[in-house]
Chains A and B, each alone.
Chain A
Amino acid sequence: MQTLRVDRQPAYVLHRRPYRNNSLLLELLTRDHGRVAVVARGARQPRSRYHGLLVQFQPLLVSWSCKGGLGALGQAEIHWTARRLQGESLACGLYVNELLMRLVHRDDPCLAIFQLYTSVLARLENGQADNEAALRLCERDLLQALGYGMALDHDVENGEAIRPECVYNYFLDKGPVLASGNGVTDTPRAGVVQLKGSSLNALAQGRLDDREALKEAKRLTRMTLGKLLGNKPLNSRSLFRERQGAVRKRASTPGP
């Protein structure tokens, strides 16, 4: 089998776990090769050349070689110094990592996913207020990149543009449909999320700046992601859910 050699590729560590006695098994998200699994030999030794380098959210340039199956990490260096994610942002970052680990297949190159990851990290670094909107846009773009893009700008039954003042029923399998009689009496059903036209527009245009739009966008992306994630819940949600009581006291709702 031919050996693949990749030199100085922009990458992020999505996940790392101990491997053998003193190595690490890394899941990397790379720009041109998608998600790849490599072994960093000796990375857990105290004087390893990778010391302090192979951490999540750190923009890296990595080289590796691969002869089918697991790759072997070669050189790794810092691409640029990012501000560290802290507190709530860190939990949001872990949530995005889990989402990518669950939904992005290995060795399936997708530049759009690398770019959306870079931009969501940049927004998370900027701090807490914006986190929820950053996650929703990341989810929207991820669904798009995976081929499950959401119809957000028109009514799928009559083809008309979404009217901000109307209420829509968003069907999981097709998209938004104007609710009959403006829908306020409709009872919730499985596979349908009811939301305002203004929230659909806000998600489509990437300006989720009021609480209601954020809340409705969250219900919509959660339903759509739910279809792809199946029965196994995302564990990183437990980083938020447990604290909801406390967070509610401060009049804001947690991340994903």
Chain B
Amino acid sequence: MKVNESPLIRQLVEAFQCLPGVGPKSAQRMSYHLLERDREGGRRIVEALAEAIEKVGRCGRCRTLSEAEVCAICSDPGRDPAQLCILETPADVLAVEQTTSYKGLYFVLMGHLSPLDGITPEDIGLDLLARRFAAGGVREVIIATNPTVEGEATAHYIAEMAREHAIKPSRIAFGVPFGGELEYLDSGTLSHAILGRREL
């Protein structure tokens, strides 16, 4: 960074760097663009950001990001409350929603169990999930945590919880991507695909 740069600009450049994928160079480009050419856009960002940070909280039922007490999906009477899909992040909700084939409800963990990082069951809202299981009405829980070691450990933990309440747990399938070619697949995925094969 240049020595004679003003402290306010430097502060702005540093602030942009909290975004993922934004390093010093891109942060500088963004800052100069807003100041030189698009002050109106800058103002819109400030207002939208301030309002969102002020008002967006968590849905009381599924823990996803929401500005209402209960989010739009949870309060939609058209959805099947007997099916509950467990996801790691709010972005996963969008991804599953875009498939349009799922019509149940969600529960968002905002992470996964990771003892080495100090993340325990309460940190990902499993006490809330246990209460929801206990309240009844859920028949099947579809566990769609990521296929990592931590995601699997989380899935196992939730499956045990579900069985305690006589709820059927299921895990999303892993394997060959649709339209993919076996030759170019990594061996971990391929072995999972063969272990998880199904009858035709």
Specify whether A and B are partners: yes
Interface residue? A239 (CB, 8 A): yes
In the complex, which residue of chain B has the Cβ closest to the Cβ of A245?
Answer: B164
CB contact list, B159-178 vs A, under 8 A: 160-161, 163-164
Partner of A246, one of B116, B117, B164: B164
Chain B residues with CB under 8 A of A199: none
| Cβ B187 vs Cβ A235 within 8 A | no
Chain B residues with CB under 8 A of A93: 149
CB contact list, B91-139 vs A, under 8 A: 113, 115-121, 126
Chain B's nearest CB lies how many Å from the CB of A97? 7
Q: Knowing A88-B156, A94-B149 are in contact, say whether A81-B187 is a contact too (CB < 8 A).
A: yes
CB contact list, A1-44 vs B, under 8 A: 14-15, 17, 21
- Does more than half of chain A's interface fall in helix, strand or loop, or is it mixed? mixed
A246→B164 CA distance, assembly (Å): 7
| Cβ B20 vs Cβ A21 within 8 A | yes
A57→B149 CA distance, assembly (Å): 9
In the complex, which residue of chain A has the Cβ closest to the Cβ of B149?
Answer: A56
Interface residue? A98 (CB, 8 A): yes
Chain A's nearest CB lies how many Å from the CB of B138? 17
Interface residue? A95 (CB, 8 A): yes
CB contact list, A199-220 vs B, under 8 A: none
In this complex, how many residues of chain B approach chain A with their Cβ under 8 Å: the count is 29
Interface residue? A129 (CB, 8 A): no
Interface residue? B73 (CB, 8 A): no
Interface residue? A234 (CB, 8 A): yes
CB 8 Å contact bits of A94-132 with B (1 = contact, 0 = none): 110110010000000000000000000000000000000
In the complex, which residue of chain B has the Cβ closest to the Cβ of A18?
Answer: B20
A94→B154 CA distance, assembly (Å): 12
Interface residue? A52 (CB, 8 A): yes
A59→B93 CA distance, assembly (Å): 34
Interface centre among B126, B189, B191 (most CB of A within 10 A): B191
Interface residue? B21 (CB, 8 A): yes
Interface residue? B30 (CB, 8 A): no
Q: Knowing A57-B149, A94-B153, A239-B157 are in contact, say whether A17-B117 is a contact too (CB < 8 A).
A: yes
Interface residue? A62 (CB, 8 A): no
| Cβ A52 vs Cβ B188 within 8 A | yes
| Cβ A78 vs Cβ B187 within 8 A | yes
Interface residue? B152 (CB, 8 A): yes
CB 8 Å contact bits of A59-100 with B (1 = contact, 0 = none): 000000000000000000010010010111011011101100
Chain A residues with CB under 8 A of B149: 55-57, 90, 93-94
In the complex, which residue of chain A has the Cβ closest to the Cβ of B156?
Answer: A87
Chain B's nearest CB lies how many Å from the CB of A6? 23
Interface centre among B115, B157, B188 (most CB of A within 10 A): B115
Chain A's nearest CB lies how many Å from the CB of B197? 15
Q: Knowing A21-B21, A235-B116 are in contact, say whether A242-B164 is a contact too (CB < 8 A).
A: no
Interface residue? A179 (CB, 8 A): no
| Cβ A235 vs Cβ B152 within 8 A | no
Chain A residues with CB under 8 A of B164: 246
| Cβ B121 vs Cβ A236 within 8 A | no
Chain B's nearest CB lies how many Å from the CB of A246? 5
Interface residue? B148 (CB, 8 A): yes
A86→B149 CA distance, assembly (Å): 9
Partner of A243, one of B119, B160, B186, B187: B160
A25→B59 CA distance, assembly (Å): 33
Interface residue? A174 (CB, 8 A): no
Chain A residues with CB under 8 A of B120: 235, 238
Interface residue? A51 (CB, 8 A): yes
Q: Which 5 A-B pairs have the closest CB atoms?
A: A236-B115, A235-B115, A52-B188, A52-B186, A56-B149
User: A21-B21, A81-B187, A236-B116 provided; 16 other pairs, C-beta below 8 A?
Assistant: A17-B117, A21-B23, A51-B186, A52-B186, A55-B188, A81-B191, A87-B156, A90-B156, A93-B149, A94-B116, A239-B115, A239-B121, A239-B153, A242-B121, A243-B161, A246-B160
Task: Offer 9 A-B interface pairs, CB within 8 angstroms, sorted by A.
Answer: A21-B21, A51-B186, A52-B187, A52-B188, A56-B149, A94-B115, A98-B116, A235-B116, A239-B113
